[in-house]
């Protein structure tokens, strides 16, 4: 009897390890303690303090350390006190599981583990999330470890919950459903699903993703994060309706949106690249930048390095300039920014345009340089678009235009074309220095043009020509000043003005004046020509060293012309037979009244002289001679007859 009782105990003790290997394909490590199964739900034997490893094809599938294993009907196992269950995963660190108890059903390779009671899961080495859940199912057939019930998560000071978690054992990513996380610095993250790949180095969040940290907020349909071997974030991307904002104390809020976004960091954790694609928009204070794509790249290493910002596709930058709204547009934008976010320089290309409160511009490209103060903007022409600048009463186009950012001055060079609008808003104002009528636009072409806002000064240089209808002005250099209203023309000056108002139907109704210099002052309504002055009109010409032109009200015509210094003249009028008859003369001064068509020739140092050609001609001299342009008559004015002398053609 003693021997039979001994074998009844010994045989199960010898067979139990073999049965466990058949059931779990586990390799025994420490020698277990074997007891008969007490009365209960399991009829088979049990083992305590067991450490076993499951092998398949020489590779470990799992390893377990439990306080007790019990075997029931059909090979079902009950595990009690699971201190360590190691689940190997393809392409990822093993998972380490702890639980109070568990059941194992099925054959090797098709087993289903159900672990319950204080289940805790974490990557080997205590990396990644520590997962706490009521129940975990391990399905060998599908290669998954699935949660049952609400999941609690912890990692590096962060904590949260999830509706479910599924760990892939055959290379599939870990899936977390209904994720909610929070942590220090105001960190929070919510999403419908999270996918953890490559040992959580590659993490993707999907479905109504919202992340917040400090003053930074991000919303997107999906977000993907890539980490390096040290688990430092190196790249993040977002898609599907990306929107976010960043707030820092004392700094205007930054807001952004796009169809997709990507951000990269260097090894030190500093951001080095940002890309917003698809209807991208960035706002900071009242500044807003919009384009199909916006990209920022750090130039150099370290957080103190400047940034290079590029935008392409329907670029629009809006903000405040000189106290009012402004808009900059183009197809491509490249800007340099300091580490603090201040603008160092920018260039916009491709049908570039600018609109401000009192200034607008367009060009093939516009370059902006904020320093040195007051900054400068350079407009350049291209094959498809001329550089143009419009401000106050001037419109300018040229090959190149430079203007300061304060609006105090500009300079245009190369094939300059300018239009000065009429000063209808200011009583008595005369555009272009009285040579042209007020209220009507005046056009200029020149080699260069410089403008100053302080006195409303415009300086044209290089083959200058200006016109308003049939009126025109040309010179090597023309200066127009608005405050006070003045005009100065230098070098090969030529003007064409109507003789009288409302009588400009033919060439004979205009007077041409050429000189070395022209000065005009609106206060006196008087233009002064000096240096080799030549006046031409239908009846003839007049030369002098100085000519003063008194303008009729509103610059409608010439009220009076006074010439002095080296007077020489030649006029033609019809004789008795209707043939042109020239009259030439000399004197010290001439007073011409266009309305009366009368020329008064005055001799001061010597008598004035008029000589008529032809058989009926003769010479008339005196202190003051009056010549009628319409009738061709010569008169000696009253009071000077004692000095008058008339000679016939024969002497």
Higher-confidence residue of 17 and 355: namely 355
CB atoms within 10 A of CB 57: 5
Please write the tens of the pLDDT for every residue from 425-475.
Answer: 443 444 555 678 777 889 999 999 998 887 788 999 999 999 988 889 999
Higher-confidence residue of 510 and 91: namely 510
All structural domains of the chain: 1-182 (2.60.450.10)
Choose among 356, 355, 316: nearest CA to 333.
Answer: 316
Averaged pLDDT for residues 21-25 = 38
Range in 24-38, 121-135, 270-284, 591-605 the model is least confident about: 24-38
CB atoms within 10 A of CB 50: 23
**Rounded distance, CA 9 to CA 16, Å?**
11
Please write the tens of the pLDDT for every residue from 576-617.
Answer: 666 678 899 999 999 998 878 899 999 988 899 999 876 667
Please write the tens of the pLDDT for every residue from 525-536.
Answer: 889 999 999 999
Assess whether pLDDT exceeds 70 at residue 505. Answer: no
Q: Give the residues across from 87 on adjacent strands.
A: 62, 95
3-state secondary structure of 8: helix
Q: What is the pLDDT of residue 36?
A: 44
**Rounded distance, CA 68 to CA 46, Å?**
7
Range in 127-131, 196-200, 609-613 the model is least confident about: 196-200
Helix (H) or strand (E) holding 479: strand 471-482
How many helices (DSSP H) and strands (DSSP E) are in the chain? 1, 44
pLDDT band at 555 (very low <50, low <70, confident <90, very high): low
For the chain, give percent helix, strand, coil, nearest 5: 5, 65, 30
Is the Cβ–Cβ distance between 88 and 82 less than 8 Å? no
User: Checking DSSP bridges between strand 158-162 and strand 387-391, what pairing results, if any?
Assistant: unpaired
Higher-confidence residue of 383 and 19: namely 383
Q: What is the pLDDT of residue 302?
A: 67
pLDDT band at 54 (very low <50, low <70, confident <90, very high): confident
CA distances to 113, 237, 464 from 16, rounded to whole Å, are: 20, 54, 112
3-state secondary structure of 300: coil
**Rounded distance, CA 450 to CA 602, Å?**
42
User: Checking DSSP bridges between strand 151-155 and strand 144-148, what pairing results, if any?
Assistant: unpaired
**Rounded distance, CA 177 to CA 163, Å?**
5
Q: What is the pLDDT of residue 202?
A: 85
For residue 221, cis peptide bond before it (omega within 30 degrees of 0): no
Q: What is the pLDDT of residue 16?
A: 40
Range in 30-34, 106-110, 155-159, 397-401 the model is least confident about: 30-34
Is the Cβ–Cβ distance between 509 and 493 less than 8 Å? no
Mark residue 576 as left, alpha or beta (left: phi above 0; alpha: psi -120 to 50; beta: remaining).
alpha
Choose among 212, 291, 214, 207: nearest CA to 257.
Answer: 291
Q: What is the pLDDT of residue 35?
A: 44
Share of the chain above pLDDT 90, in %: 37
Q: What is the pLDDT of residue 614?
A: 66
Please write the tens of the pLDDT for every residue from 232-266.
Answer: 888 889 999 999 988 777 777 888 999 999 988 88
Is the Cβ–Cβ distance between 175 and 165 less than 8 Å? yes
Assess whether pLDDT exceeds 60 at residue 39. Answer: no
Is the Cβ–Cβ distance between 55 and 70 less than 8 Å? no
Please write the tens of the pLDDT for every residue from 140-168.
Answer: 889 899 999 999 998 878 899 999 999 88
Higher-confidence residue of 174 and 127: namely 174
Per-position b or e across 192-222, b if 16+ CB within 10 A of its CB: bbbbbbebbbebbbbbebebbeeebbbbbbb
Averaged pLDDT for residues 50-55 = 77
Share of the chain above pLDDT 70, in %: 85
Q: What are phi and psi of 546, to 5 degrees?
A: -150, 135
Measured torsion, CA atoms of residues 325, 330, 334, 339, in degrees rounded to the nearest 10: 20
Distance of alpha carbon 267 from the chain centroid: 30
Assess whether pLDDT exceeds 70 at residue 333. Answer: yes
Q: Quote the Cα angle for 69-72-75, to 5°.
A: 90
pTM: 0.73
């Amino acid at each position: 009897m003693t021997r039979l009782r001994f074998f009844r105990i010994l045989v199960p003790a010898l067979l139990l390890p073999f049965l466990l290997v058949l059931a779990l394909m586990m390799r025994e490590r420490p020698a277990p303690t074997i007891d008969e199964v007490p009365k209960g739900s399991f009829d088979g034997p049990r083992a305590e303090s067991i450490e076993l490893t499951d092998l398949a094809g020489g590779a470990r599938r799992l390893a377990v350390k439990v306080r007790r294993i019990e075997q029931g009907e059909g090979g079902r196992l009950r595990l009690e006190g699971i201190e360590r269950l190691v689940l190997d995963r393809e392409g990822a660190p093993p998972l380490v599981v702890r639980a109070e108890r568990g059941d194992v059903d099925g054959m090797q390779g098709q087993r289903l583990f159900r672990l319950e009671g204080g289940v805790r899961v974490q990557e080997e080495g205590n990396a990644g999330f520590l997962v706490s859940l009521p129940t975990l199912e391990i399905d060998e057939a599908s290669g998954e470890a699935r949660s049952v019930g609400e999941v609690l998560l912890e990692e590096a000071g962060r904590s949260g919950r999830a509706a479910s978690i599924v760990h892939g054992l055959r290379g599939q990513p870990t899936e977390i459903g209904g994720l909610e996380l929070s942590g220090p610095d105001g960190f929070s993250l919510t999403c419908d699903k999270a996918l953890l790949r490559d040992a959580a180095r590659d993490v993707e969040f999907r479905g109504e993703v919202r992340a917040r940290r400090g003053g930074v907020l991000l919303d997107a349909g999906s977000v993907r994060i890539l980490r390096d071997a040290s688990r430092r974030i190196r790249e993040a991307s977002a898609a599907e309706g990306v929107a976010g904002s960043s707030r820092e104390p004392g700094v205007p809020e930054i807001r952004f949106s796009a169809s997709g976004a990507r951000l990269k960091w260097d090894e030190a954790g500093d951001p080095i690249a940002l890309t917003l694609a698809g209807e991208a928009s960035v706002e900071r204070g009242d500044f807003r930048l919009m384009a199909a794509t916006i990209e920022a790249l750090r130039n150099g290493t370290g957080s103190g390095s400047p940034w290079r910002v590029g935008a392409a596709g329907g670029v629009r930058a809006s903000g405040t300039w000189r106290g009012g709204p402004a808009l900059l547009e183009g197809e491509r934008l490249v800007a340099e920014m300091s580490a603090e976010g201040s603008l160092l320089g920018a260039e916009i290309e491709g049908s570039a345009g600018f609109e401000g409160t009192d200034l607008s511009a367009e060009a093939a490209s516009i370059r902006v340089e904020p320093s040195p103060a007051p900054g400068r903007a350079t407009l350049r022409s291209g094959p498809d678009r001329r550089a143009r600048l419009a401000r106050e009463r001037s419109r300018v186009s040229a090959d190149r235009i430079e203007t300061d950012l304060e609006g105090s001055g500009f300079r245009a060079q190369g094939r300059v074309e300018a239009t000065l609008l009429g000063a209808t808003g200011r009583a008595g104002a005369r555009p272009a220095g009285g040579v042209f009528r007020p209220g009507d636009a005046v056009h200029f072409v020149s080699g260069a043009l410089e403008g100053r806002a302080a006195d409303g000064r415009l300086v044209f240089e290089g083959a200058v020509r200006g016109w308003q209808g049939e009126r025109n002005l040309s010179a090597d250099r023309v200066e127009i000043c608005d405050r006070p209203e003045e005009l100065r023309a230098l070098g090969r000056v030529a003007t064409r003005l109507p003789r009288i108002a409302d009588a400009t139907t033919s060439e004979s109704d205009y007077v041409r004046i050429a000189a070395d210099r022209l000065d005009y002052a609106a206060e006196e309504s008087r233009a002064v020509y000096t240096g080799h002055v030549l006046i031409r009109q239908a009846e003839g010409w007049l030369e002098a060293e100085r000519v003063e032109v008194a303008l009729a009200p509103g610059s409608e015509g010439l009220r009076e012309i006074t010439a002095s210094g080296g007077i020489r003249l030649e006029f033609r009028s019809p004789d008795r037979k209707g043939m042109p008859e020239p009259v030439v003369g000399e004197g010290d001064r001439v007073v011409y009244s266009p309305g009366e068509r009368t020329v008064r020739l005055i001799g001061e140092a010597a008598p004035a002289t008029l000589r008529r050609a032809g058989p009926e001609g003769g010479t008339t001299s005196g202190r003051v001679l009056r010549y009628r342009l319409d009738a061709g008559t010569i008169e000696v004015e009253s009071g000077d007859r004692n000095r008058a002398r008339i000679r016939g053609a024969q002497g």
